[in-house]
Amino acid sequence: MINSFQHMHIIFGHVTYWQMPLLRILKYLKFKVFYLYIEAKSDIKKNEIATKLKKHNIFPLPIEFQKKISPKASFSLRTNDPDEKAFKKNIKLVPDAILKKYCYLFSINEKKIKKLRLLLQDFISFFQSEVSGTLGIWSALYPEKKLIYVSFKFKCFYITDINQNIFKIIIPIDIGNYFIKIIEKIFLLLPSFINKGKKEQENQVSNIHNLKEIEKKSVAFIVHKGLIYGDITKKGSVLFEKTLYYSKDTNSCLNKYNILHLDYSNYPSPEKDICWISLHKIKIYNIQIFLKDSKVTSHIKSG
């Protein structure tokens, strides 16, 4: 039994504080136990977890200490993805037929389906680099070993298919937290939705009291942390103003006061007369998206 344990590596994806006893038990049972990342709210907490794991001889996957890296274990698995595993996973998870349905759901022009595909590719490629590529390198280094990857994150369902000697155990505990947050938001928003009404919500979202004026805007400017780069409260700390796209012509759609400014950093409007929308303050009812998504999914299955 002990010999079989020695031919097995257990690799945890994102270790948190509550997982530490599990890693210790597996180490006590003579398993080879490693981890990829430590997940905590601060660097101090991360160092604390790493120190406690180190005392039990549990370390990050030590790829950098390997003396020989074979061509099959090349770091290109993390950087270049030579076999296009991420793209194959992309197509497998979300075929074009489903992407078209989502275009219909969110009123997106079907011509933009390639952009949606690229967004998915970016998401899946991140896991190819951070998780799948790393496991692929270790698998190629130890082809005779059985590797077990353990994760409690839902997103790890998106990691690409790797070598045959890797077995994945994914228990998406965090998906429960997601639904809890949705329920909390619904209960928190319900009283304000009943009592405050539409007009007050408009005032929270925008400094323009009549949202119908926004519909007339033909140009939108997505603003990152205000219109000034630097600290406005300190003399000489303002490096520049973000006025590159503005026109001085008052009749131009690119005039400062004719552009719709979309702020996602929760920054206030710098001027009263600027059309400024705070996206963080827009109340999105997730239950409506969920019901619409369920409707599209059932339509796909029936089709």
Per-residue model confidence (pLDDT) at position 148: 93
Cα–Cα distance, 9 to 59 (Å, whole number): 12
Query: Alpha-carbon torsion 232, 238, 241, 242, what sign?
Result: negative
What per-residue confidence (pLDDT) applies to 163? 74
Instruction: Quote the pLDDT of residue 238.
Output: 64
What was the pLDDT predicted at 296?
47
Contact 27, 57 (CB under 8 A): yes
Q: Is residue 190 part of a domain?
A: no
User: Cβ-count burial of 262 within 10 angstroms (0-12 exposed, 13-18 middle, 19+ buried)?
Assistant: middle
pLDDT < 70 positions in the chain: 1-6, 69-78, 185-212, 231-238, 282-303
Asked if the structure places residue 104 within a domain, the reply is no
Q: Give the CA distances from residue 167 to residues 28, 61, 161, in Å, rounded to whole numbers and listed in that order.
A: 21, 16, 10
Residue 247 main-chain phi, psi, to 5 deg: -115, 145
Token output for 126: 């991140």
List strand residue ranges (DSSP E) for the chain, in order: 8-15, 32-38, 59-60, 146-151, 166-170, 220-223, 228-230, 238-241, 260-263, 275-278
In a domain, 21, yes or no: no
pLDDT of residue 18: 93
Q: Quick check: pTM over 0.85?
A: no
Residue 197 near residue 206 (C-beta atoms within 8 A): no
Domain membership flag for residue 106? no
Q: How many CB atoms lie within 10 A of CB 26?
A: 19
Domain that holds residue 243: 198-281
Specify the pLDDT at position 264.
Answer: 82
Q: Is residue 215 part of a domain?
A: yes
Q: Which two tokens stand for residue 6?
A: 């020695």
3-state secondary structure of 109: coil
Q: Is residue 268 part of a domain?
A: yes
Other CB atoms within 10 Å distance of the CB of residue 179: 11
pLDDT given at position 189: 61
Determine, yes or no, domain membership for 251: yes
pLDDT of residue 202: 46
Considering the domain boundaries, does residue 256 fall inside one? yes
Q: How far apart are CA 147 and CA 168, in angstroms?
A: 8
Report the domain count for the chain: 1
The Cα–Cα gap between 150 and 5 comes to 16
CB atoms within 10 A of CB 137: 22
CA distances from 261 to 141, 218, 228, 245, 292 (A): 52, 11, 14, 12, 29
How far CA 169 is from CA of 10, 33, 133, 282, in Å, comes to 10, 14, 17, 38
